[in-house]
Structure 1
Amino acid sequence: MYHSYVNLRGEIKQRKWENHPPPHTSKKPVEGETILFSQRSEQRRPDQPQTPLPWKLDTRPSSPKGLGKGESIKKMSLKRQLEGKKQKNNKLSIKELQMNHSQRKIGVLRRHIRKRQRLLNRISR
């Protein structure tokens, strides 16, 4: 006895009932009755724990920027920090390194405002 099924391409196929009983039916079909079911249900994988997608993984470094391995923020020498300040005036201060992102943003903006204010004062003198 044959029964119809839909394969993955959407084509309707016939196959022998004895070899491939459809997974969702327990009752034997009446002669001439066609049962449609998708092969997909046979290929369902066992439930596996969902791993996060690679681009959703948090790949940020655990230590704040500018610190060597095993160095804490407090241990960071003042000399190194001053070097950073000399090099470029937008390096983060120790206080800013301990802030979270939004606080740091505000701190950086405040610093930029102070810098511009100094320049304005210097010009207006």
Structure 2
Amino acid sequence: MRHAYLGGVVPTLTWRVMPVTTQIMATRPLEDDLTKRLLPSDHCVEDIRYIPDYYRLSGDKRLLIGGGSVYGGTDDLNIQHKLRRNLYKICLELKGIEVEYTWSGNFALSFTRVPQMGRIGKNT
């Protein structure tokens, strides 16, 4: 793997980004009163740590929680173990909640951690 899904498509960008793997898990659908306490405005939440965690509700009221990013783009074999401690930071009521889905994926992160903008080649 070179970096996320870019591969060798744009060789001039290969040195500007690195692969990062993030994991996500989805709980069983939650009751309305619990979802209103967790996310009353139904917005997505992300912390601002160097390796961020994030969560939101799905359309069918599952809590999706992601994070535990691994720089270098390697998969973690035990996603639930890695993310459950973050789940409990959000809400202790979720301790022991059934997790129905887990997955991971890669994305390209610029080394400066900000979007890269500019031209590749001549402006024609």
TM-score by length of 1: 0.24
User: Which structure: greater helix fraction?
Assistant: 1
Which has the higher Rg, Structure 1 or Structure 2? Answer: 1
Normalised to the residue count of structure 2, the TM-score between the two structures is: 0.24
